[in-house]
């Protein structure tokens, strides 16, 4: 079954919608410049709305150990997502010190970008393949843009991975068909305003991803 991560959740409506839709992962952003940023205590309060259930993922951008420790003290994350310029050595150090699996986000724009996967593979547990930020972007990540999904077709990706970047309820099925991704990550594509999740869009996205994954599997 296609894994689905709803990222950038910061209020009860978004959290409850992701839970009701059957998302596999819920992402909390601990990067203050982002419009989706949430305080550790607020993320912990949201998480307590449902024990168990989706994996709790914390998104960080070049974090200091002090920030990671503070967040983990408030909220026992299941997965640490690194979305900055963290090196393989830094990713490995975070995984070792904090005892959590690590997912490294890498920006993809050309076939050569996939070469970095081999460097990170020994240091991380998952990859998130995202669009590269456009020139002049103030935030990391795809910034609601998609990359050419065909770039990953037939490529040996040495860890479990998610596809991200510009996905919406209307495009996720085609993204899965073209890329063969085992999972998807969405943030802005399920928002009614910048940083504000729309429960109806979350439900539509998860349903479309499940259908798209099933269709891709049957074709394969």
Decide: residue 182, CB within 10 A, 0-12 exposed, 13-18 middle, 19+ buried: middle
Enumerate the active-site residues: 7, 130
The Cα–Cα gap between 55 and 143 comes to 24
């Amino acid at each position: 079954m296609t894994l689905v991560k709803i990222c950038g959740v910061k209020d009860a409506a978004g959290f409850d919608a992701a839970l009701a839709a059957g998302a596999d992962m819920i992402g909390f952003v601990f990067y203050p410049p982002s419009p989706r940023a949430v305080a550790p205590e607020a993320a912990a309060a949201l998480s307590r709305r449902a024990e168990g259930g989706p994996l709790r993922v914390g998104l960080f951008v070049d974090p200091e150990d002090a920030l990671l420790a503070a967040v983990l003290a408030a909220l026992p994350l299941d997965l640490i997502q690194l979305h900055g310029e963290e090196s393989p050595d830094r990713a490995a150090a975070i995984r070792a010190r904090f005892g959590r699996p690590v997912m490294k986000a890498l920006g993809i724009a050309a076939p050569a970008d996939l070469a970095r996967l081999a460097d990170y593979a020994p240091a991380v547990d998952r990859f998130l393949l995202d669009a590269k930020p456009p020139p002049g972007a103030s935030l990391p990540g795809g910034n609601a843009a998609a990359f050419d999904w065909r770039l990953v077709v037939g490529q040996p990706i040495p860890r479990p991975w998610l596809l991200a970047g510009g996905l919406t309820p209307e495009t996720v099925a085609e993204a899965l068909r073209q890329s063969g991704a085992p999972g998807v990550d969405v943030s802005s594509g399920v928002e009614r305003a910048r940083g504000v999740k729309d429960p109806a869009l979350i439900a539509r996205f998860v349903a479309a991803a499940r259908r798209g994954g099933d269709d891709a599997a049957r074709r394969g």
